[in-house]
Structure 1
Amino acid sequence: MSQVATHQALQPEFRLLVFVVSIGFFMQGLDTTIINTAIPAIAISLNEAALDLHSVVVAYVLSVAACIPLSGWLADRFGVRNIFFAAIVIFTLASLGCGLSTSLNQLLFFRVIQGIGGAFLLPVGRLAMLKIIPRSQFLSAMSLMSLAGLMGPMIGPTLGGWLVTYMSWHWIFLINIPIGILGALVIFKAMPNAKETSVKAFDLWGLILLATAMIGLSLGIENFANKHNAAWFSWTLIAGGLIASIIYAFHAHLHQNALFRSKLFENKIFTVGILGNFFARFGANAIPFLLPLMLQVAFGFDPFVTGLLMIPTVVGSLASKPVVRWIIQRYGYRNVLLVNSLLVGACIASFALHQVDTPLWIRVAHFFFFGMINSLQFVSMNTLTLKDLPQQDASSGNSFLSMIMMLSMSLGVALAGTLVNVFTTHLGLDQTLKAFHLTLLCLGSINIITALIFWQIPKQADDDTA
């Protein structure tokens, strides 16, 4: 069977489903890009240091990662439509809470609640597509969902910069409310309530171990930059996270009701895809946080100009969508991910060449190119990871991938914020730009090394890409 024959265009009866899933993706993308642009303004309003405010991003992403293991079980037990609807309601109400916050503690609290809703939005939406849409149309559906979802990041930076400059940062969250209402109204027509007839008992101990592991690793890395805590406290958190991870590995192998059974990793393509997603996203997911911060803190750009400068990245992502399927079919997952991982890593590292007087056309072209190759990386990794899972493992595998994606984002943002603070402390406050440059070089190097993981993709993985 030819590779072209295994991929089909999305049929009309599935387009409304992809649209409603894209609304969830849109809300997340809009929220993420707006807050990255607004962090310096939030810091000023709340009397905090801008370089220390990555906790606002980490709090959301970490709560998403910690709650994602629930998504597959809840969707199987109560149905994908019911859980997706609940996720939209929680996310929308939490956005209202964030928008009304008057202190950092209030904002962090509602960001955690927002993360609980966000934990179910994208994974349950993607699971609905995996259960309802034929596998031969899955790549087309994923590409279309990503295309629609990228509209959030496309308007987010500019809208966020405008709101922060001319109104108040609180409005960057309130914008989610009408979008959430639209999603809640459409979902009952668009999404069948697919669920499993038999669902195993929930693995509470497994969830506790996983949450402990993720919280320990993320907060451990983040606290290295905290001047109020000793280094041993961070190392203790990281050690606790690693120990919890090891215990869960045994738990997953020995317990039949484990959230993620060890048999998932008997599929080599799934295993390679998970490892690749985890490490490749460190740098790529930190860039939307790091670049707006560098442009405002190190270069002195205002939020609105910063938002405008982020648009080429999203336009590059949009430009790559129509050709993603053709590139994968033409060159195969292995070749695409090997070459593209090197390109993404080199592109991240090359952001260290930017100076305050870098010509605008070079900055725009650079951001555009990063958006193109980063989008190709994400779609290729996600589709490769899930494409060979049998139907009975689809829910578990999808939830695990979503958890790894968000955990990697949490670790990436925490690592980026920590590196900037550590380098700034070592070099001095007058060397903030150099601290950003060194951080970008470190993140790019991680992505380049990740190519070694994708080298392990079996060559026969491209014989059938359905």
Structure 2
Amino acid sequence: MPLTSSRSQKALLWIVASGFFMQTLDTTIVNTALPSMAASLGEPVLAMHPVVVSYTLTMASLTPASGWLADRFGTRRVYFLAILIFVLGSLLCANAHSLPQLLLARVVQGVGGSMLLPIGRLAVLRSVPGAQYISALAFISIAGQLGPVVGPVTGGWLSQTIGWHWIFLINVPVGVIGMFAVHHFLPAEEITSPPRFDLLGCALLSTCMVTFSLALDVPMTEYREWWSAGLLGVSVLTVWLYVLHARRDEQPLFRLGLFNEPNFSVGLIGNLVCRIGSSAVPFLLPLLLQVKLGFSPLHAGLVLLPAAISGTIAKPWIAPLVRRFGYENFLLVNTILVGGSIVSFALITPTWPIWIGILQLAVFGVSNSMQFAAMNSVTLKGLNSKDAGSGNSLFSMVQMLALGLGVTIAGSMLSGLDGVAWAREWTFTLTFVCVGVVTLLSALVFRRMDAQYFN
């Protein structure tokens, strides 16, 4: 029911914004702390990418269930539980004494994180009057923009001064305050019986994402090719089983009819390919700066600020540029800028001028920010109102999958190249070139979009 109290409405927005901030902060704060974690846990620093991947894949797998859970058990209950699970996962992360323990804790954290934004957005939709909804979402989005800005610096400062465990412990007081606020300010609602949730469909797609990611990250062993082929086979099989299931089920997780809209299908593929490269950058750069160039964690976090700040500044430019040049031309040129800036990071060496590095980061931040906004818009633009919610949910899954795949591919390349004598000196250089080229290839995908939707 709508909030009648202005005070309660403001409290709700702050609650949801804080939850979104915790979620986005946690996807970036870990990156600058990975070398410190590796040293503490006795693991190779170039093999720490599963710490990021386990969190993002968990969120991607469980995000579609969040809306149904809120309908079935109530928004207030489920949002309270989401924060609680996220806080418990953070405590487990902070107390992990081995990499397997940390990975399990990150999965728990991801379970809570998967529900923070979708259910928070749903709570705002149901409680804020329609005339104020756009302003409310704009306020919440600011919190999402702050996470990537302060994440690398905060992660570097905490891991350098008082220990990496505190990048997780800082979630605890925020979470406790959030749970208190949810209990006192989030309005009660009448719980209805929602339509049946497609548990089988969700399980099949989740299995597909996890096995595909693992197929790219099999350790270098005697049977590596067989394991990779087997996992890839399972991934393909689960997709095929989902198609059969969706054809027969009256209420599948995602209707196959979604893919009849050509721009949606092409947009999903383009987003996936493009985001693989851009998602690898926040993981690769802190490692390059600390492992290769000898920067401290705090210094590495500060160096990354130009990308985050320039990306935030560039957001108002997107709409005027698209109106002037059209989606087709804008995406072609901007994708080349994103991919080219990623490839340019391969040139960074200990003697590389700092001002050129800052310029590279600023170009990447601006082009990447505008790329995300343009890709999101053009992918969902052609969906009708009936499919908009389902399409947006699938789109969110693909975004999180791309984030996990970007880190997986980059991490696997670093580990693999580090084991090859001739390539060891060029590990980061070759990895940046490869992920940058992957992003450049997405320009070819976007060229296949239907031009009638560009105007």
User: Quick check: TM above 0.5?
Assistant: yes
- Tell me what 1:360 maps to: 354
How many aligned residue pairs are there?
450
- CA change 1:137–1:331 in 2 (3 A) is farther
Partner of 1:445: 437
Structure 1 counterpart of 2:165, one-letter code: H
- Is 2:56 the partner of 1:61? yes
**Matched letter for residue 458 of structure 1:** D
2:258 maps to 1:261: no
Please say if residues 220 and 416 of structure 2, whose CA atoms lie closer than 8 Å, have aligned partners that are also in contact. Answer: no
SS in 1 for 2:271: helix
241 and 353 in structure 1: CA distance in 2 versus 1, 3 angstrom threshold: same
2:269 to 275, 287, 291: 275
- Following superposition, the deviation at residue 426 of structure 1 comes to 2.4
Asked if 2 retains the 8 angstrom alpha-carbon contact of 1:128 and 1:194, the reply is: no
- From 96, 106, 109, the equivalent of 1:111 is 106
Q: CA deviation at 1:367?
A: 0.9
Deviations 1:46-101 (A, max 9, x none): 00000111111111111112212312322343455543333222112211221122
The Cα offsets for residues 367-390 of structure 1, whole Å up to 9 and x where unpaired, read as 122111111111222233334444
Closer, same or farther: CA 88–395 of 1 in aligned 2, 3 Å = farther
Query: 1:362-410: CA deviations, max 9, x gaps?
Result: 1112112211111111122223333444444343222211111111111
Please state if 1:121 is matched with 2:106: no
Summarize the alignment of residues 47-446 of structure 1 with structure 2, pairs less than 5 Å apart. Answer: 47-126=42-121, 145-187=140-182, 199-223=194-218, 225-227=219-221, 230-428=224-422, 430-431=424-425, 434-446=426-438
Aligned counterparts of 1:229 and 1:297: Cα–Cα separation in 2:
30
Asked whether the equivalents of residues 8 and 185 of structure 2 are also in contact (C-alpha less than 8 Å), the reply is no
Between the aligned partners of 1:19 and 1:270, the Cα distance in structure 2 is 33
TM-score, normalised on structure 1? 0.87
CA 1:302–1:370 in structure 2 vs 1: closer, same or farther (change >3 Å)?
A: same
The structural deviation recorded for 1:192 is 6.7
Question: What secondary structure, in the 3-state scheme, does the structure 1 residue paired with 2:350 have?
Answer: coil
Q: Where does residue 4 of structure 2 map in the other structure?
A: none
Selected match of 1:38 from 33, 42, 47 = 33
* Aligned partners of 2:247 and 2:256 also within 8 Å: yes
From 426, 449, 452, the equivalent of 1:457 is 449
Quote the sequence identity (%).
44
Please give the alpha-carbon distance, in whole angstroms, between the structure 2 residues aligned to 1:349 and 1:64: 29
Change beyond 3 A, Cα 1:376–1:242: same
**1 CA distance for matches of 2:423 and 2:43?**
16
| TM-score where L is the length of structure 2 | 0.89
Mark the CA change 1:230 to 1:18 in structure 2 (over 3 Å): closer, same or farther: same
Asked if the contact 2:59–2:113 (Cα under 8 Å) also holds between the matched residues in 1, the reply is yes
Tell me, yes or no, if the aligned pair for 2:277 and 2:436 is still in contact at 8 Å. yes
Instruction: Rate the CA distance shift 1:401–1:137 in 2: closer, same or farther, 3 A.
Output: farther
Q: Is the 8 A contact 1:131 1:194 kept in 2?
A: no
What residue number does 1:8 align with? none
Q: Which amino acid is 1:436 matched to?
A: F
Structure 1: gaps (5+ residues): 1-11
Mean alpha-carbon deviation: is it higher for 188-197 or for 51-60? 188-197
Contact 1:76–1:195 (CA under 8 A) maintained in structure 2:
no
Task: Report the residue type matching 1:61 in the other structure.
Answer: T
Decide whether aligned partners of structure 1 residues 17 and 326 sit closer, same or farther in structure 2, where only a CA change above 3 A counts. farther
- Asked whether the 8 Å contact 2:8–2:186 carries over to 1, the reply is no
Q: How far is the alpha carbon of 1:14 from its aligned partner?
A: 8.5
Maintained 8 Å contact 1:139/1:383: no
**What amino acid does structure 1 have at the position aligned with 2:394?**
F
Aligned partners of 1:80 and 1:195 also within 8 Å:
no
User: For residues 227 and 144 of structure 1, do their structure 2 counterparts lie closer, same or farther at Cα, with a shift above 3 Å needed?
Assistant: farther
Partners of 2:123 and 2:409 in 1: CA distance:
33
